[in-house]
Amino acid sequence: MTTFADLGLPAPVLRVLTDRGITSPFPIQTASLPDSLAGRDVLGRGRTGSGKTLAFALPVVTRLATSVARSAASGQQRRAAGRPRALILAPTRELANQIDASIEPLAQALGLKTTTIFGGVAQSRQVTALNAGVDIVIACPGRLEDLLGQRHLALDDVEITVLDEADHMADLGFLPGVKRILDRTSSRTQRLLFSATLDNGVDVLVKRYLNQPVTHSVDDAAAPPPLMTHHILAVADKDVKKNVVHQLAQGTGRRVLFMRTKHQAKKLAKQLTAAGVPAVDLHGNLGQGARERNLAAFSSGDVRVLVATDIAARGIHVDDIELVVHVDPPAEHKAYLHRSGRTARAGSGGDVVTIMLPEERGDVRDLTRKAKITARPQDVRPGDATVTSLVGEVAPYVEYVPPAPQPQGRQGQPRKQGGRSRSGGQGSGQGASQAGQSAGGGRQGQPRSQGTGQAAGQRGGGRPASGGSARAADHFPRTDGAAAPRRRRRGGRGRGAGTNVSAAS
């Protein structure tokens, strides 16, 4: 059996892999690394979870380490401000962060620096990192183009470029920006492109930017992993569906529940938490800070249930997810496969459940046929043996503790969510009604409640629930009603609280 040592990787990299328990390469790594390490352009195809991140991370750090040694020997500068030497493009912030988490230990072992660039956060830290000098940039196309336009960086020195999840970038409409970015790199740059499919214009990228690429495809990207077991649970109506979903969320292992809309994802996470099953949500309405906190809580195991929209269908790489539930079946089969790919990763097994209402039977039949899934529908109710077996060991109940009452205004009335606060924050009465929280911010120096999914009295954004104790639910919104209207002082402006919309409402 081929080992990483057989592939000629640097000794510091081998030590990092060994320390992390990574000893044997996956098939996509065994197939592609000899060519990528030799400096050839590579087109890698394979389904999600096949080990593509290390397949490009290892040649990136190895090539740059060699380049650094060559520069040092000739007395050249090690790194220059705003001039990275490796570029990795990813379609989503979450994927960029996870790529960085995988590549940073390898880079550090070789004296290399990495940074991430994406939107949704202030660019100041990204600019500071670039000015300090970095070797590897992991970026989403939109923000990268912004910084290029502002001349905060240049790509002339890039020696190796990686496009990860190229088909997903095409689905999101990023290919024009990707082309403009690649046009700024040298034609002599080594390019590695990884994609599950070559449709929607990905083939154009391959033909235009890859020089005689070596193609490695270790499996059928459209086929489900062999260790993934699929189940279709037919329910009688929406009430039965709700109860079955709540039961499926009660296991001790990690599980992801996919919803069709952002609103429904927030609603289900709130319902589960109130029912003693701490859950966090992930969707496009969350700010970057809330996304990272919720994903970190799920990744660490503090919270075992993630309720998500299709934003989590790709680029969310968390080990040991034992169950994926399509609470709302996706619209097309590619989404089904990518959602399902959150489980049965890295050689592990996993179960995938699709909840089917009577009116969805035809759509689910077409969906599974295109996805090459042979599972047959089973009629179920809560407590059935099929549902119980999928739940496995039931996790302890975590009591939902509503947040403490908030300070009152001068006349004994809680202030209304609305108007402008003295700090300029825009209040939202509708947000308070939805979140079921009264406004903070009395005259005794109490901080106002701000941010997504935040309990009152905390600054700088909310924290996810923790599955480890009853106190976990403190960070989720109250369910006992909206705030009362505030009083206005004669001749003055109201002191409304800042925006307070819950991440889990």
Average pLDDT rounded to a whole number, residues 245-270? 95
What is the gyration radius of the CA atoms in the chain, in angstroms?
Answer: 25
Q: Are 148 and 39 within one domain?
A: yes
- 323 or 221, higher pLDDT: 323
Q: Are 185 and 238 within one domain?
A: no
Indicate the pLDDT class of residue 390, thresholds 50, 70 and 90: very high
Indicate the pLDDT class of residue 346, thresholds 50, 70 and 90: low
Average pLDDT rounded to a whole number, residues 209-221? 82
Is residue 74 pLDDT above 70, yes or no? yes
- Give domain status of residue 448, yes or no: no
Average pLDDT rounded to a whole number, residues 17-21? 90
- Give domain status of residue 345, yes or no: yes
Q: Please tell me the predicted confidence (pLDDT) of residue 49.
A: 62
Average pLDDT of the chain is 80
Is residue 316 pLDDT above 60, yes or no? yes
Q: Please tell me the predicted confidence (pLDDT) of residue 315.
A: 61
pTM: 0.62
Q: Are 54 and 122 within one domain?
A: yes
- DSSP character for 21? T
Q: Are 137 and 245 within one domain?
A: no
Token reading at 108: 């550090």
- Backbone φ and ψ of 197, nearest 5°: -135, 170
Q: Are 32 and 144 within one domain?
A: yes
Is residue 66 pLDDT above 80, yes or no? yes
Is residue 293 pLDDT above 50, yes or no? yes
- Give domain status of residue 450, yes or no: no
Is residue 60 pLDDT above 90, yes or no? yes
Average pLDDT rounded to a whole number, residues 232-248? 96
Q: What strands lie across the sheet with 279-282, from one edge to the other?
A: 279-282, 305-308, 254-258, 321-326, 350-356, 228-234, 377-379
Is residue 250 a contact partner of residue 411, using CB atoms and an 8 Å limit? no
- DSSP character for 247? H
Report percent pLDDT > 90 for the chain: 53
Is residue 342 a contact partner of residue 256, using CB atoms and an 8 Å limit? yes
Indicate the pLDDT class of residue 371, thresholds 50, 70 and 90: confident
Q: Are 153 and 175 within one domain?
A: yes
Is residue 494 pLDDT above 60, yes or no? no
- 47 or 276, higher pLDDT: 276
Q: Are 141 and 234 within one domain?
A: no
Average pLDDT rounded to a whole number, residues 271-290? 90
Amino acid at residue number 207? K
Q: Please tell me the predicted confidence (pLDDT) of residue 94.
A: 85
- Give domain status of residue 429, yes or no: no
Domain termination residue (choose one: 162, 192, 217): 217
**What DSSP string describes 462-485?**
-----TTSGGGGGGS---S-PPPP
Q: Are 235 and 212 within one domain?
A: no
**Which range has the worst mean pLDDT, 63-72, 119-128, 492-501?**
492-501
- Give domain status of residue 413, yes or no: no
- 498 or 88, higher pLDDT: 88
Q: Please tell me the predicted confidence (pLDDT) of residue 48.
A: 62
- 95 or 433, higher pLDDT: 95
- Give domain status of residue 441, yes or no: no
d(CA 390, CA 29): 33
Q: Please tell me the predicted confidence (pLDDT) of residue 87.
A: 98
In angstroms, the Cα distances linking 108 to 12, 349, 477 are: 9, 32, 41
Is residue 357 pLDDT above 60, yes or no? yes
Q: Please tell me the predicted confidence (pLDDT) of residue 47.
A: 63
Q: Are 35 and 180 within one domain?
A: yes
- 387 or 476, higher pLDDT: 387
**What DSSP string describes 265-312?**
HHHHHHHHHHTT--EEEE-TTS-HHHHHHHHHHHHHTS--EEEE-GGG
CATH code at position 45: 3.40.50.300
- Give domain status of residue 157, yes or no: yes
Domain termination residue (choose one: 342, 369, 391): 391
Half-sphere exposure at residue 228, Cβ-oriented, CA atoms within 13 angstroms: 29
Q: Please tell me the predicted confidence (pLDDT) of residue 498.
A: 38
- Give domain status of residue 446, yes or no: no
Q: Are 106 and 57 within one domain?
A: yes
Domain termination residue (choose one: 166, 183, 217): 217
Average pLDDT rounded to a whole number, residues 228-257? 95
If one counts the domains in the chain, the total is 2
Highest mean pLDDT among 23-32, 131-140, 489-498: 131-140
**Which range has the worst mean pLDDT, 196-205, 333-342, 428-437?**
428-437
Indicate the pLDDT class of residue 497, thresholds 50, 70 and 90: very low
Q: Are 256 and 121 within one domain?
A: no
- DSSP character for 210? -
Range of the domain at 254: 228-260+309-391
Q: Please tell me the predicted confidence (pLDDT) of residue 410.
A: 55
Q: Are 136 and 241 within one domain?
A: no
Q: Please tell me the predicted confidence (pLDDT) of residue 443.
A: 37
Q: Please tell me the predicted confidence (pLDDT) of residue 197.
A: 76
Is residue 374 pLDDT above 70, yes or no? yes
